Amino acid sequence: MSKLSWYTRACAFFVALATAAVTLPAQTFKTLDSFDNADGAAPWATPVQGSDGSFFGTTQNGGNTACALGCGTIFKITPSGKLTTLYSFCAQSGCTDGIAGGGGPLQDTNGKFYGSTDGGGTSDACPVGCGTIYSLAVGLGPFVETQTTSGRVGAAVKILGTNLTGATSVTFNDTSAVFKVVSSSLITTTVPSGATTGFVTVTTPKGTLKSNTKFRVTP
């Protein structure tokens, strides 16, 4: 290949990239909230979305002033930007509940959140405590989670949940499905004929559970 041919192709490539960049839709960045130390500082890990649509996360610092930089918090923020401090670590004597929220929290199908801290706890084997594992109930009820969240008619689907034993019905957006209760936390099923995109519901002796997200029925 001649130098001129290489140069011509290179120019054409960069022109194509520039054209693509120009046609990209405008990007909008928005700050939803800024921590002020009283409600937390140094957020840790990416917030996770709960079954109510809000996002939940932890901070390493801020909150309770029993620690030099604050003992950390668990927070909730809505998609519109309303921030709520759900818990400030070291609320218990000797910080037995933990210091400095670590990864998570993650929501279980029982509705509660579970996570860990980097310090605090009851052990004195570490300089500032060896950390804790905690659960936090925020008033969200139990739900079911499908694996996967999309599929065509006939596709195999696993449904995870709590207290599923004795389930009498599984529906995909009100279309009944054949299913098998494998354990108290697992149901296997297939996407039924006629199903459309929507929530999956499971009827159990203790009530009806709805999936945390819509199941998308694909062609």
CA–CA gap between residue 42 and residue 60 (Å, rounded) = 6
**108: which 2 tokens?**
């279980």
Stated length of the chain: 219
pLDDT(25) > 90: no
Higher pLDDT, 104 or 35: 35
d(CA 41, CA 60): 7
Helix, strand or coil for residue 7? helix
Q: What is the pLDDT of residue 23?
A: 58
Cβ within 8 Å of residue 115, ≥6 positions away: 58, 74, 101, 102, 103, 104, 105, 106, 133, 134, 136
Q: What is the CA radius of gyration of the chain?
A: 24
143-177 pLDDT, tens per residue?
A: 999 999 999 999 999 999 999 999 999 999 999 99
Handedness of CA 44, 144, 215, 76 (dihedral sign): negative
> What does the CA dihedral 10, 16, 19, 23 come to, rounded to 10 degrees?
-150
- Domains of the chain, each with CATH number or no CATH: 41-136 (no CATH), 145-217 (2.60.40.10)
Cross-strand partners of 144 = 211
pLDDT at 50 over 60: yes
Contact between 62 and 72 under an 8 Å Cβ cutoff? The reply is yes
One DSSP character per residue, 99-148 reads EEE-S--EE-TTS-EEEEEEE-SS--SSTT----EEEE--SPPP-BEEES
Per-residue pLDDT reduced to its tens digit, 85-100 = 999 999 999 999 999 9
pLDDT digits (tens, 9 = 90+) for 185-218: 999 999 999 999 999 999 999 999 999 999 999 9
